Amino acid sequence: MIKLNREMLRDKVYACWIGKNIGGTLGGPYEGKRQVNNVEGFSTKAGEPLPNDDLDLQIVWLRAMRHLGPQGLNERSLGEYWMEYVSPYWNEYGICKANMTHGLSAPMSGHYKNEWKHSNGAWIRTEIWACLYPADVNNAVKYAYYDACVDHGLGDGTYAAMFVAALESAAFVVNDIRELIKIGLSKIPSDCRFAKYINTAVECYDSGKTWLEARNTLTDMALADEELGWFQAPTNVGYAVIGLLWGEGDFKKTMLTAVNCGDDTDCTAATVGSIMGIKDGMAGIPSDWKEYIGDKIVTLSINRGAFYNCPATCTQLSEEVIQTRDLTLWASPVVTVVDTETELPEEDKAKFVGSEFAEELGGRSPYHVAYEFPMASVTLEYDRAPDIKPGEQIKIKVHVRRKLEAQKHFVAKLYLPEGWTYEGNPNFACSRRVYRQGWVNEFTVTAGERVDYKNRGVLELSIEGRAEVELIPLIFFGC
Per-residue confidence in pLDDT tens, the chain, 479 aa: 999 999 999 999 999 999 999 999 999 999 999 999 999 999 999 999 999 899 999 999 999 999 999 999 999 999 999 999 999 999 999 999 999 999 999 999 999 999 999 999 999 999 999 999 999 999 999 999 999 999 999 999 999 999 999 999 999 999 999 999 999 999 999 999 999 999 999 999 999 999 999 999 999 999 999 999 999 999 999 999 999 999 999 999 999 999 999 999 999 999 999 999 999 999 999 999 999 999 999 998 999 888 888 999 999 999 999 999 988 888 778 999 999 999 999 999 999 999 998 988 888 899 999 999 888 899 999 999 999 999 999 999 999 888 887 777 788 889 999 999 999 864 444 445 555 567 888 999 999 999 999 999 999 988 888 898 999 999 999 97
Q: Is the pTM of this model over 0.75?
A: yes
- Taking each continuous run of H as one helix and of E as one strand, the counts in the chain are 18, 12
Q: Provide the β-strand partners of residue 463.
A: 410
pLDDT at 426: 41
* Burial class, 49, CB count within 10 angstroms (exposed 0-12 / middle 13-18 / buried 19+): buried
Fold for domain 2-328+343-355?
ADP-ribosylglycohydrolase fold (1.10.4080)
Residue pair 320/311 in contact (Cβ under 8 Å)? The answer is yes
One fold for 2-328+343-355 and 367-478: no
Antiparallel, parallel or unpaired: β 335-338 and 2-5: parallel
Phi/psi at 55 (nearest 5 deg)? -90, -40
Q: How many CB atoms lie within 10 A of CB 52?
A: 25
Under CATH, which number does the domain 367-478 receive? 2.60.40.1230
Q: How many residues are there in the chain?
A: 479
Integer Cα distance of 322 and 311 in angstroms: 13
Q: Structural domain boundaries of the chain? A: 2-328+343-355, 367-478
Integer Cα distance of 361 and 364 in angstroms: 5
Contacts of 179 (CB under 8 A, 6+ apart): 170
pLDDT at 431: 46
The amino acid present at 294, given as its one-letter code, is G
